[in-house]
Structure 1
Amino acid sequence: MRIYLPATWPMLERMVSTGTFEPLGGTAFALTPKLRESYVAGDDEELEYAAMSEAARASLRLLSVEIGLGETSTPVRRVVVAADTDDVTLRPDLDDGAVRVTGAIGMEKIAAVHVDLPEAEHAVGEAAGAIDKADLGDLDAEFLVGEAEDHDLAWYAPSEVAFLVQLG
């Protein structure tokens, strides 16, 4: 099963240095039966994109915490790590596509990494500051989140991630 793990730049740096990805709280997103049921139409590729988008929104929540803690030395970009594993548990108590993974994900299971380009940093920073209000229904905050979500995430092969981190 392809899973999408929300992350931040420091988490990506740790993955490069340790060779494993540690999912925060074990939370990931995937094309689950519940996610499939929540869409009237759409092929697997479109539904996988929906799961990845949920992980990108969760990345905004992680960035919000980092920014709140004063983390200013790393790029303000959404990061989603895609991995292939069948070691997941469905999470019907959370979003339709939420799953739980146990333990670290080794580099051999990483399929790709999706990261915002530098030109998205301003919009992503604004969205990270507004994500909590957006979650509570504030329309202005939702607009800011939408501005960040208008930026497509770039795709990187696992072999390119170390170079990406080095470039910052």
Structure 2
Amino acid sequence: MRIYLPATFTTLASALADGGFRDAPYTAYAVTPALRAAVGTDDEEELEYAAMSMAADASLRMLAADPEAPARRVVIAAELPERIVHPVAEAETPGQVRIDGVVPLKRIASAHIDDEAAAPDIKAGRTEEHELLWYATQELRYLLEDPTTA
């Protein structure tokens, strides 16, 4: 099952050093029946974008709690077995799920991250004009070496 895990540069660096996201449970976002009903479509691409957008909003909240992290939203897309992905009954948003296991690096499909030029707007909470950029998993280590050059 494809999930979208909100993160920051800080949590991403820890995950790369640890071989994955190991401090479960995690809140993530996915295409759930509740999300399908809320969005009102069966278009998988549109539903995936909605789930990723919810994760981007959660990443923004994480940035508020981590003022040392670069002001760039980070969303990790991963393929996980459904047995560790659970819908949240009283979820704040319809695509919210709980991950009850490790998200190993080998399960990460890609990362979606704001461009460095977006940082002033992201810091101010103005995200409407910024789309997340796609990064392959092999690019993540280089991105973390100098987050201002990616």
Answer yes or no: is the 8 Å Cα contact 1:27–1:98 preserved in 2. Answer: yes
Answer yes or no: is the 8 Å Cα contact 1:52–1:80 preserved in 2. Answer: yes
Match of 2:110? 112
Q: Which runs of 4+ in 1 moved over 6 A?
A: none
Answer yes or no: is the 8 Å Cα contact 1:5–1:23 preserved in 2. Answer: no
Match of 1:47? 47
Q: Pick the aligned partner of 2:79 from 84, 95, 98.
A: 84
Matched, 1:75 2:70: yes
Match of 1:33? 33
One-letter amino acid of the structure 2 residue matched with residue 153 of structure 1: L
Match of 2:12? 12
Between the aligned residues of both structures, percent identity stands at 42
Q: Mind listing any 5+ residue stretches in structure 1 that lack a counterpart?
A: 128-146
Give TM-score, length-normalised by structure 1.
0.81
Aligned residue pairs: how many?
Answer: 144
One-letter amino acid of the structure 2 residue matched with residue 47 of structure 1: L
Higher helix share: 1
- Greater shift in the superposed pair: 49-58 or 18-27: 18-27
Answer yes or no: is the 8 Å Cα contact 2:8–2:59 preserved in 1. Answer: yes
Query: How far apart are 1:102 and its partner, in Å?
Result: 1.2
Residues 80-126 of structure 1, C-alpha deviations (whole Å, 9 max, x = no match): 01110122011121110000001321011101111101011001100
- Greater shift in the superposed pair: 149-158 or 17-26: 17-26
CA-based RMSD: 1.5
